[in-house]
Structure 1
């Protein structure tokens, strides 16, 4: 199919882009990598009258350390998340999750800002960034806002970004020492939409007691989901395989994955439970490599 007609303007600065969005109203859309928006255009699920291309806006693809952690420009490509030393050394969960995104061609074009703005419930980066307690900075002619990921993701394909706002940066705190993280997902073929997925981040003290845990899942509902009841089961304990299994079971309690041709809701829930157990186990071993056994 072909997209409906629209006006296309390349913005040369963030101010230029913001003025275009403000003038275009609800019928204007931002385009960067286009890996999510273009298919929607082709299927006529999106019908903007104006596309504002921000690829030429300077400064939106930087990755740098800041006091709060790591600042990642919204135009940072998925592939860069995998190769950046700043990311891999400080936020290893992100490259692990990004490696699951579709195929190399898409990772070379897709952007972190676009993935978050698209708010796909089956996307990897929202799940990983929710586990990492990230925030996004958005701008409009009215000023700037800092939005926690948990408040950004509203529902499937729905975010809290207003029509005249642009994501310009993602800030992610660097986890403390003694932290391990893991991401995993399952699909029929690598690159297909995931049937289920999970991210886990745990921090252990010098006695291998869990002082912090964050568990998030992909495919469990209309958006990325944090499983706080499951996290609380691990806090203060020296986690065993029994504890991990209990946390994984609690994580999927109440989830309502949508049944698809690839699997029923019950099947997808079981996939997610298995992946939570797997990622928790891997994260704990990475937090304390000297832990030979969790029995």
Structure 2
């Protein structure tokens, strides 16, 4: 039992199979990684798990592994590890930038990528970056494993494609084309806060013009916002092209923001209009260098 939570059992398995068996045996059990978000939700009576399954002792879930076709990030990899890893370059730099924008150093030292994306807060930093990078989320249960594209993993506010007996075990990132670049920017009320709005960009440039583009917006809908129209408008554009502003308007049209303590819906739309040109120009500059 956990002190202060007399009805909550606590397990600390040392291998993935045991963790999955515990989840399969109790549909009300929850995985706990860094714990910052889950414990806060428990304190606020937003969730009441019957048991907590700690993932801290499972070596398989730790660290970043390189392969010829990309990177695999274990679910228990801390934000600070991702933020400081030089292997996130080119089109994958957006992931490192997102990690570096999460909270404060103390939060980045304990929070994990698996825990963050499993919470599925649309104002968090990872979701938009993972969607722009076309990441795949590896999910496991006692029944086996499956892979879900990031844009399908996030279903709505605080809801993912995970079934009750499933957990995130890794994030798979395909090696981007050699000439690719990426950028990430967000605006928050204060330093370290969740995003009022954020924009993640992955793409490539040749001769100063964009040759492919993938954009995702955070904080402006129940999931990261994508727009095929905006991506198409950016192809062939340079930072000073009028089509960049049109792409921003296409993104704004795809957004469905709300009014909350971080800002109004109209303010969020304004931020998207401002952030996309800046992110696009930043990526273009990286390509030029």
- TM-score above 0.5, yes or no: yes
Q: How does 1:25-104 map to 2 (within 5 A)?
A: 25=27, 27-87=28-88, 91-104=92-105
User: Deviation string for 1:215-242 (max 9, x for gaps)?
Assistant: 1101111111122211111224455342
- Structure 2 matches for 1:82-231, cutoff 5 A? 82-87=83-88, 91-205=92-206, 207-231=207-231
Aligned residues: 286
Residue 164 of structure 1 aligns to a residue whose secondary structure is coil
Go from structure 1 to structure 2 and tell me whether the alpha carbon gap of 1:72 and 1:229 turns closer, same or farther (over 3 Å shift): same
- The runs of 5 or more residues in structure 2 that have no matched partner are none
Deviation at 1:279, TM superposition (A): 0.7
**Distance 1:137-1:190 versus aligned 2 partners, 3 A rule:** same
Question: What TM-score do you get using the length of structure 1 for normalisation?
Answer: 0.92
Q: Distance in 2 between matches of 1:90 and 1:34?
A: 30
- Displacement of 1:261 in angstroms is 3.1
User: Which piece of structure 1 moves more, 9-18 or 91-100?
Assistant: 91-100
**Shift of residue 282 of structure 1?**
0.8
Per the TM alignment, residue 89 of structure 1 is displaced from its structure 2 partner at its CA by 7.2
Cα deviation, 1:44-77, whole Å, max 9, x if unaligned, reads 1001101100110112112111233111111100
Equivalents in 1 of 2:224, 2:143: separation in Å? Answer: 29
Q: CA deviation at 1:288?
A: 2.4
Measured after TM superposition, the shift of residue 86 of structure 1 is: 2.3
Deviations 1:90-125 (A, max 9, x none): 722122111111111111111111111111111101
Match of 1:14 in 2: 16
Mapped contact 1:116–1:126 kept (Cα < 8 A): yes
Q: Report the 3-state secondary structure (helix = DSSP H, G, I; strand = E; otherwise coil) of the residue aligned with 1:253.
A: helix
Aligned alpha-carbon RMSD (Å): 1.7
Partner of 1:274: 274
> Against the structure 1 CA distance between its residues 178 and 156, is the aligned structure 2 distance closer, same or farther, given a 3 Å change threshold?
same
CA contact (8 A) 1:201 1:280 kept: no
Find the residue that maps to 1:84 and give its secondary structure: coil
Q: Following the alignment from structure 2 to structure 1, what is the Cα–Cα distance between the partners of residues 123 and 238? A: 32
Equivalent in the alignment of 1:293: none
Secondary structure, in 3 states, of the residue corresponding to 1:38?
helix
Preserved CA contact (<8 Å) 1:3 1:41: no
Q: Which moved more, 1:272-281 or 1:86-95?
A: 86-95
Contact 1:155 1:223 in 2 (8 A): yes
Query: Does the aligned pair in 2 maintain the 1:4–1:41 contact within 8 Å?
Result: no
Q: Deviations over 1:19-53 (max 9, x none)?
A: 1000012x011001112211111101001101100
Partner SS, residue 171 of structure 2? strand
Q: 1:40 to 1:72 in 2, by over 3 A?
A: same
How far apart, CA to CA, are the structure 2 residues paired with 1:283 and 1:132?
Answer: 14
* TM-score, with length taken from structure 2: 0.94
- Alpha-carbon distance between aligned partners in 2 of 1:150 and 1:68, rounded to the nearest angstrom: 20
Matched residue, 1:292: none
Within 1, Cα distance between the matches of 2:254 and 2:67?
38
Query: What's 1:255 paired with?
Result: 255
Distance 1:239 1:279, change over 3 A: closer
**84-93 or 57-66: bigger deviation:** 84-93
